[in-house]
Chain A
Amino acid sequence: MISAQILFKTAAVFYGLSLVSALVFRKKPITVLIFMLAALAANAASLTLRYLAAWPMLPMYLGPVALPFCLGILSIFNKKNYENNTVFRLILFLILFLSLTAVFFPKDFYMPFIKSKTVLSHLFLLFGVTGKSCFLTGSAWAIAGFIGSKRKQGKNETRKSIIGILTYRIIPVLQSRYFLQCSMRWIVWGFSLLTLSMFSGELWSYIGWGTPVVWDDAAITTTMAIWFFYICLLHLHHTGTWTPQARGCYAASGVFLILGLNSIPDLGPFRWPF
């Protein structure tokens, strides 16, 4: 019998095939798109089954399965993401990484609880997952901006501050501000969606428990940590406090934060999937 787990494993295989196709050929062959569509279909079916097994409640720990799907949608249905080879490959790499962690470290064994039977809980998940996908896409654009360029030599700027030394001497120069511009677009969307997710969560927490924050769930702190991290980046960006190079590095580093703070709470122990 086809289960949500089998479908997700199938999706992971197709994501992998899509990445391999994208890496092997210089110009994207049609197979990339075919594998991606197959992966997305399997992933969507897996999500649907997980949802059917819980609806009208919220499926527990759906994030690790939903995040690759959201990222996949953003990668092929957004023209800029799809057309830029480096960005597309980076996103595919992230999708595969997330899929594999979800396959090998699943935490899908908790039963849904009836307090999650409210539209706010579903919005909390939806906004949260799409927000984090946007952040990851933003990071992919920032990283792509550094790929293929060289390190800067001898500029005054490099000696001025620790940030200058770190971001100019160690990391290659941002190719073009276009990458940062695209990265920031995604990050603004990510921030907006994550904020809406937090507010949905707070309202759910209020009507469900009577308080704005339910301290029984440690994941609240990681969400807040991500929020403040990106608030910082938005401030840096709007005020131009740091150089575009430094901001690019900051935006790129967000990928570690999202993967660390988002993935770890949502992952279970290692489980051999076959």
Chain B
Amino acid sequence: MAVLNMIKQLSYIWRKLGSIHLTVVLCLLLTADLTYGYISINRRTNLFASLNDIGLTAWIETYGRHNLLYTAWFFILLGLLTLLCINTFACTTDRVILLIRSREHFGIQRFLFKFSPHIMHYAMIILLVGYLFSYISAQVIVSQTMVPGTTITLPGKTAQITFESFEPVYYHGDRLAFLNNYVISPRAKLLLTDGDYNKTAVLSYNQPVWFKGYGIFLKNFAPRKKDGMAIRVRIDMNIRKDPGVCVYIAGIILFTAGLFMYLAEWIFFKKYTKESL
């Protein structure tokens, strides 16, 4: 009897967690919370900028807990997103089961397209889990500065990165007068070595280098101007080992696939003409 009761209760909780009403409430709360978040970030940008470097746990322990007036919205956001993931999972799983059960009613093509919203739902969960994983587990070496000729060793590895030379592309011309003789494309030549392995790579803005599980991102560089003030050549890099990246990129790809399937179904099967109104 007790077991039956428990099953009943669990089933009730599952139904409530997967309720569309909960989805609506959560989405509206998220909208309101994020709007408040805009005001908070605008007023105290410094509080949030460090989130990318020190990770979520350290951020909560420091910036987060000590500025609750400005960070409370972020904690609420985490809670609401967690609930939304649970809600999405429960709701989608129920519907997928129903869809599979009623597969005889559709042609194979239509049946596959019917999965599009569910693909997006699962993709959103993967995406959010990926973000969380990234913010919790990423190891970041912040602002690693190198000058030509210097070498660093990746933590816990024998792999080394040598900054060989800086070969920037300068902008010359009048169209972008403010940029005349300034660097438009910083290019740092790196030598990546690990034992017998040798490879040269070019690091630039929006052109990271991946090596032995680490992503190397150009953060800053100097000098910026050709024949300008005498400043030593240097690059500042953020070196990140982030296992969450693959997860959230998989989420993005899956969501995009689901989105295109959804649009295709909508365009080709004219879903909106009679249904749902």
Contact = CB atoms under 8 A, between A and B. Distances in A.
A181 interface: yes
A224 B217 contact: no
A215 B51 contact: yes
Nearest to A260: B35
A210 B215 contact: yes
Contacts of B175: 52-53
A177 B273 CA distance: 10
Contacts of B178: 111
A14 to B, nearest CB: 27
B206 A236 contact: no
B41 A215 contact: yes
Interface residues of A, number: 58
Contacts of B131: 212-213
B34 A221 contact: yes
Interface in B116-142: 117, 130-131, 134, 138, 140
A114 B182 CA distance: 10
Given A218-B45, A235-B23, A225 B31 contact: yes
A211 B24 contact: no
A209 B238 CA distance: 8
A218 B23 contact: no
Given A211-B134, A232-B27, A225 B259 contact: no
Interface residues of B, number: 56
Interface in B219-277: 238, 240, 242, 245, 248-249, 252, 255-256, 259, 262-263, 266, 272-273, 276-277
Interface in A222-256: 222, 224-226, 228-229, 231-232, 235-241, 244
A199 B250 CA distance: 12
Contacts of B23: 232, 235
A207 B207 contact: yes
B20 interface: yes
A210 B30 contact: no
Indicate the member of A188, A209, A211 with the most B CB atoms within 10 Å.
Answer: A211
Contacts of B41: 215, 217-218, 220-221
B150 interface: no
A114 B169 CA distance: 12
A7 B89 CA distance: 50
Interface in A133-185: 177, 180-181, 184-185
A237 B206 contact: no
A199 B20 CA distance: 25
Interface in B30-48: 30-32, 34-35, 37-38, 41-42, 45, 48
Nearest to A198: B252
B206 A228 contact: no
A229 B27 contact: yes
Contact of B206 (A111, A118, A226, A241): A118
Contact of A241 (B21, B248, B259, B262): B21
B183 interface: yes
Contacts of A211: 52, 134, 138, 240
A238 B34 contact: no
Contact of B277 (A177, A215, A217): A177
A239 B275 CA distance: 10
B148 interface: no
A65 to B, nearest CB: 19
B272 A232 contact: no
Interface string B7-36: 000000000000011011001101110110
Contacts of A212: 130-131, 134, 248
Contact of B245 (A114, A118, A206, A244): A206
A-B pairs, 4 with minimum CB distance? A232-B27, A225-B34, A218-B41, A215-B48
Interface of A: 52-54, 56, 111, 114-115, 117-118, 120, 177, 180-181, 184-185, 188, 192, 195-196, 199, 202-204, 206-222, 224-226, 228-229, 231-232, 235-241, 244, 257, 261, 265
25 contacts: A54-B176, A56-B184, A114-B184, A117-B184, A117-B205, A192-B259, A195-B255, A195-B256, A199-B255, A202-B248, A206-B245, A208-B206, A209-B217, A210-B208, A210-B217, A210-B238, A211-B134, A211-B138, A212-B131, A222-B34, A224-B34, A225-B31, A226-B31, A228-B34, A261-B35
Interface of B: 20-21, 23-24, 27-28, 30-32, 34-35, 37-38, 41-42, 45, 48-49, 51-52, 117, 130-131, 134, 138, 140, 175-176, 178, 183-186, 205-208, 215, 217, 238, 240, 242, 245, 248-249, 252, 255-256, 259, 262-263, 266, 272-273, 276-277
Given A199-B255, A208-B217, 13 more contacts: A114-B184, A188-B263, A188-B272, A207-B206, A207-B208, A215-B41, A215-B45, A215-B49, A222-B34, A225-B31, A232-B24, A232-B27, A257-B31
